[in-house]
Chain A
Amino acid sequence: MTLHLTEPRTGGAPVHSPESRKPVPRKSQRGSRPGGSSIDVQRKKLLIPFVGPAFVLYTVLFIVPALGAVWISLHKWAGSGPMKFVGLDNYGRIFRDQLFLSSFGNTLLLLFVVGTAIFVLAFALTLVLRDMAGKKIARNVIFFPHLINALVFGVLAGFIFNPGGMVNTLLAPLGVTDPPKWLAQDNIFPLIMVTLVCTTTGYFTTILMAGVDRIPPYYYEDCALAGASAFQRLRYVILPLTWDVFGTCAVLWTISSVKIFEIVWVFGGSSGAGVPPTQSWTAAVYTYVNAFSGQSTPAYGAATASAVLSLALISVLVVLLRRAMRRDAVEF
């Protein structure tokens, strides 16, 4: 973990050479911690003014609500009026709630199925891009969707998959006279999954590329000299050397997939009530609807219980991933 934190930004700070006029640099590495030099002592006094504001804002607006969520999830509460302590009852309740199970199942689908698809594709793209002409252009283009609000894709999908929309007009000349009802309630979620694969792969490709680009070229030359096949090169050079980047990407996807909300919310236009069909709900949508949709009495307890479970899912997976991906770091 820290290995990456301290990774120097190449190209970012070309500071070394121009400053060669000053006297021989003291042999003080960053870790020089005798605590003696006056600048260090002075610096330590900056704790409150420097760290204070960030610490307070972060604690009050992030950590306290997160702890509050755990607290609320142990209560039966409609948002106003008295809170009734019910212990773990809410958790039991949502596990008996068919709606929650399917929402949580959808989140798991996003996490694992979409995740796998993204990784396979991103890795394939990385291998293709690695020594391709015009790789910068291609990489820049496929990265861009990451910067667009997922709402946009949801709305566009509504247009493209309309009964009289573009997909069907494209399919008509191919002899498909009876195209599937793309936006039927049962079909929306698979479509969302496909859309997510399309829009997210580029981002992970960019990260993987950064890892692959770090591999020094002489490894490949070695491979060529040793007569390694393309597969062997992949198996014994590229994969081991990008393993940690894979781990990072997996953690990133775990975290970001669990909060997927807006694309589900508007996908294919809304269904009138302002709430998407239940078949396409994710855990995040479940939380939001249960608390704020105004359709029934808000069930803050159940809603936060669902959110806390998502957090638990993330924590468990991140710990597992860290363990599974841990290998002897290959220094190069």
Chain B
Amino acid sequence: MSEHKLLAPLTTRRRAGRGVSPALRGERSILRGIGVTLLWMVVAISIAALVWMVAQAFRDTRAILDDPWGVPTSLDFGNFVRAWTVGDFAVATWNSLLTTVVSSVLTVAIAAPCSYYLSRVDNKLTQGLSLYFILGLGIPAQVILIPLFVMLNKVYLTDSIIGLNLVYIGVSMPFTVFLLTAFFRSLPLEMEEAAALDGTTAFGTFWRITLPLAKGGILTAFILQVISHWNETLLALTLLQSTEKYTLPVALISFVQQQTYSGADWGGLFAGLVIVVLPMLIIYVWLGRRLTEGLTLGMGK
């Protein structure tokens, strides 16, 4: 990407004068030029890397190793079929999908009323509760790993998708409650008050007024949970033992580890990576703005 291309839209924009004074159009120092060029290089490399990864998934291992820069000659789904069948990715994908959707839906469904209460009732108790929930944000997963395993083992919920779902819901509470509380606080109260004057019950105002208003925030919270549950590795690795219970990240790890014995099947591996990454890409392209907004708002604590 040359300087020319970069500067061209800038100048036109300045001329178009979108209410921005020339003072804001930064100085054109060399340092800055280098920075801009580097940045675009990073952007280009990132996109190229993603495209490259997807492309390699359609080539067989020998071709990949011979010429890692090559492009697939035909749309060959052999790698995916092999990953799907030999690498147990079919079952793992299904498990991941099920776990992600169920735990994310339940997380939001349980966190939303709680956040609503914490955002609308203001007393010592709710302040304490808010703090109690925020506390969890700082506890890393490895701390609860072993006790959780011991506890779940006692009630036969290790190596179980149900157990994993429960764990994900519990672990996601701090962040979701935190995010949604901030969101509910930002909603205006007038409509709820009007509804209350009209005789709606407290539950009714929540259900019929606030929830529909909060659709955006709730969707954001849901998507953020989908992403973190889809990618969660450490807890799943600890709590699941049998192959037919594996989620995708665990299956990927076991696939990688098999290869130290059976020789590297890079084709299958790339297919596996694509299966892990692609859903995230789709979500990002589809709902990206909502996502970054939610993250930057939620994290602005």
B173 CB contact (under 8 Å) in A57, A68, A230: A57
Do the beta carbons of A13 and B186 come within 8 Å of each other? yes
- Complex Cα distance, B193 from A230, in Å, reads 50
- The DSSP consensus for interface residues of chain B is helix
Chain B: CB-nearest residue to A166: B68
Do the beta carbons of B25 and A4 come within 8 Å of each other? no
A7-B182, A45-B202, A270-B260 known; A152-B300 Cβ under 8 A: no
Q: Which B residues are CB-close (under 8 A) to A177?
A: none
Do the beta carbons of A65 and B144 come within 8 Å of each other? yes
- Complex Cα distance, B202 from A190, in Å, reads 56
Q: Which A residues are CB-close (under 8 A) to B196?
A: 37-39
Nearest CB in chain A: distance from B14 CB, A: 10
Do the beta carbons of B146 and A43 come within 8 Å of each other? no
Interface centre among B133, B142, B253 (most CB of A within 10 A): B142
- Complex Cα distance, B297 from A156, in Å, reads 32
Q: Does A60 interact with chain B (Cβ within 8 Å)?
A: yes
Q: Does B17 interact with chain A (Cβ within 8 Å)?
A: no
Q: Does A101 interact with chain B (Cβ within 8 Å)?
A: no
- The DSSP consensus for interface residues of chain A is helix
- Complex Cα distance, B68 from A124, in Å, reads 33
B146 CB contact (under 8 Å) in A19, A139, A259, A303: A303
A62-B139, A62-B174, A217-B20 known; A288-B238 Cβ under 8 A: yes
Do the beta carbons of A310 and B185 come within 8 Å of each other? no
Q: Does B262 interact with chain A (Cβ within 8 Å)?
A: no
A132-B39, A155-B273, A307-B140 known; A8-B171 Cβ under 8 A: no
Q: Does B213 interact with chain A (Cβ within 8 Å)?
A: yes
- Complex Cα distance, B146 from A72, in Å, reads 9
Within 8 A of A (CB), among B101-135: 110-111, 113-114, 116-118, 120-123, 125, 129, 132-133, 135
| Binary contact track A1-18/B, C-beta < 8 Å → 1, others 0 | 100111111011101100
A50 CB contact (under 8 Å) in B49, B116, B194, B266: B116
Do the beta carbons of A248 and B300 come within 8 Å of each other? yes
Do the beta carbons of A207 and B148 come within 8 Å of each other? no
Chain B: CB-nearest residue to A265: B253
Do the beta carbons of B39 and A43 come within 8 Å of each other? no
Q: Does A291 interact with chain B (Cβ within 8 Å)?
A: yes
Q: Which A residues are CB-close (under 8 A) to B266?
A: 159
- Complex Cα distance, B283 from A124, in Å, reads 28
Q: Which A residues are CB-close (under 8 A) to B113?
A: 46, 49-51, 53-54
A65-B148, A138-B39 known; A133-B189 Cβ under 8 A: no
Nearest CB in chain A: distance from B9 CB, A: 4
How many B residues are at the interface, by size bracket?
Answer: 35 or more
| Binary contact track A280-320/B, C-beta < 8 Å → 1, others 0 | 00011001100110000000100110111011001100100
Q: Does B183 interact with chain A (Cβ within 8 Å)?
A: yes
A6-B182, A7-B182, A57-B166 known; A50-B114 Cβ under 8 A: yes
Do the beta carbons of A307 and B143 come within 8 Å of each other? yes
Do the beta carbons of A206 and B43 come within 8 Å of each other? no
Q: Which B residues are CB-close (under 8 A) to A142?
A: 42-43, 46
- Complex Cα distance, B57 from A50, in Å, reads 47
A315 CB contact (under 8 Å) in B111, B138, B206, B260: B138
A133 CB contact (under 8 Å) in B10, B69, B281, B299: B10
A69 CB contact (under 8 Å) in B120, B143, B201, B264: B143
| Binary contact track A145-160/B, C-beta < 8 Å → 1, others 0 | 1011111100110110
9 nearest interchain CB pairs? A61-B170, A224-B23, A68-B147, A54-B114, A65-B144, A42-B202, A65-B147, A39-B196, A259-B140
A-B contact pairs, 17 of them (CB 8 A): A6-B185, A7-B182, A39-B205, A46-B113, A58-B177, A62-B171, A62-B174, A66-B144, A128-B36, A142-B43, A147-B283, A149-B231, A251-B301, A287-B146, A300-B150, A310-B142, A314-B140
- Partner-B contacts on A (CB < 8 A): 1, 4-9, 11-13, 15-16, 19, 22, 25-26, 28, 30-31, 33, 37-40, 42-47, 49-51, 53-55, 57-58, 60-66, 68-69, 71-72, 79, 124-125, 127-134, 137-145, 147-152, 155-156, 158-159, 164-166, 169, 206-207, 210, 217, 220-221, 223-225, 230, 245, 248, 251-252, 255, 258-259, 261-262, 265-266, 269-272, 274, 283-284, 287-288, 291-292, 300, 303-304, 306-308, 310-311, 314-315, 318
